[in-house]
């Protein structure tokens, strides 16, 4: 991609931002309306289209207006735009992002919930905030690994912020008896129409100590990217649900989806003492105190 073309595409994204920010801010300031809900998705779609990023999805996402806490893996800053382009939603993000130029503004406009990871006591406050948003019908995305990975593997999911689901139920009492936990896998299967192999995926990923600006430049020069989003089988979280068990079930689904994307093979069945037919992804939820939706 030439320097001139890159500059023109960046200018187009800036223009889209300038056009949308005014109505979007007013909609947030004076009440949540369709503009506030859909403007971020429109902005993400414009920018992804400008840079040749194609987003596809499979599975069954939550219905419009259905509250859900999405537990997702995290590979790159591009995950934000890819997921944000699909539908109105918000993210949980580290507090440092709020101070980043432009990106912090975009995050606030998308009603991101920020968490100070240096303060363990902040978790309870964030859970309460996310819980109130879930009770109001929002779709909140939590990158449950707590950091980004290299695109080849899933890091262990953290369960502390899954307590937001219980906070939503407790806040609403009899009106809300369960929250949908939604496993979600983000994968980057192709670039320039060709499958990415194990050595190429880390070039798309933004992880470790990578600087953002050089990675953005590499992304611009690299050519069109395909992103595929897999919505897993939902997990019903009730007041008595063990958040660690629920998080482990979500992680297993995301890990299986990633394995299929990376190797083309399904996740092998876990060993067990009794011989029985493989069960579906929600078959054992009852035994864990997690009724399937």
Stronger pLDDT, 282 or 249, i.e. the higher one: 249
- Is CATH 3.40.50.300 the classification given to domain 52-263? no
The number of helices, as runs of H, and strands, as runs of E, in the chain is: 9, 9
Check pLDDT > 80 for residue 182.
yes
Mean pLDDT of the chain, nearest integer: 81
Cα separation, 158 vs 35, whole angstroms? 33
Cα separation, 66 vs 73, whole angstroms? 21
Percent of the chain that is helix, strand, coil (3-state, to 5): 45, 20, 40
Handedness of CA 59, 63, 69, 73 (dihedral sign): positive
- Kindly report which listed range (108-117, 132-141, 209-218) carries the lowest average pLDDT score: 209-218
Per-residue confidence (pLDDT) for residue 291, from 0 to 100: 43
| Average pLDDT of span 169-194 | 89
Handedness of CA 84, 88, 93, 99 (dihedral sign): positive
Over 170-222, what HEC string results? HHHHHHCCEEEEEEEEEEEEEECCEECCCCCHHHHCCCCCCCHHHHHHHHHHH
Per-residue confidence (pLDDT) for residue 98, from 0 to 100: 87
Structure letter (DSSP) for residue 112: P
Give the three-state DSSP class for 32. coil
Contact 67, 135 (CB under 8 A): yes
Stronger pLDDT, 244 or 13, i.e. the higher one: 244
For residues 43-79, b (16+ Cβ closer than 10 Å) or e, as one string? Answer: bbbbbbebbbbebebebebbeeeebbbbbbbbbbbbb
Per-residue confidence (pLDDT) for residue 170, from 0 to 100: 87
pTM metric for this prediction: 0.81
- The ranges assigned to domains in the chain are 1-51, 52-263
Over 39-57, what HEC string results? HHHHHHHHHHHHCCEEEEE
Check pLDDT > 50 for residue 86.
yes
């Amino acid at each position: 991609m030439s320097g001139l073309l890159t500059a023109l595409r960046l200018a187009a994204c800036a223009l889209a931002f300038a056009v949308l920010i005014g109505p979007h801010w007013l909609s947030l300031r004076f009440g949540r309306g369709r503009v506030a809900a859909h403007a971020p998705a429109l902005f993400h779609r414009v920018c992804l289209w400008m840079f040749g990023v194609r987003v596809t999805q499979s599975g069954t996402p939550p219905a419009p207006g259905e509250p859900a806490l999405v537990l997702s893996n995290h590979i790159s800053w591009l995950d934000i735009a890819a997921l944000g382009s699909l539908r109105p939603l918000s993210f949980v993000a580290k507090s440092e992002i709020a101070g980043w130029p432009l990106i912090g503004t975009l995050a606030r406009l998308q009603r991101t919930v920020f968490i100070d990871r240096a303060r363990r006591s902040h978790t309870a406050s964030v859970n309460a905030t996310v819980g109130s948003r879930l009770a109001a019908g929002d779709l909140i995305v939590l990158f449950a690994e707590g950091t980004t990975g290299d695109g080849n593997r899933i890091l262990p999911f953290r369960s502390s912020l899954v307590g937001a689901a219980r906070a939503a139920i407790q806040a609403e009492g009899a009106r809300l008896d369960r929250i949908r936990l939604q496993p979600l896998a983000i994968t980057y299967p192709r670039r320039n129409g060709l499958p990415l192999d194990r050595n190429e995926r880390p070039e798309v990923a933004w992880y470790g100590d990578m600087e953002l600006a050089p990675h953005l430049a590499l992304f611009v020069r690299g050519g069109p990217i395909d992103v595929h989003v897999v919505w897993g089988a939902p997990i019903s979280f009730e007041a008595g649900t063990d958040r660690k068990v629920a998080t482990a079930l979500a992680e297993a689904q995301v890990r299986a989806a990633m394995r299929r994307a990376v190797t083309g093979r399904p996740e092998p069945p876990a060993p067990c003492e009794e011989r029985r037919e493989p069960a579906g992804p929600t078959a054992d939820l009852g035994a864990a105190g997690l009724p399937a939706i």
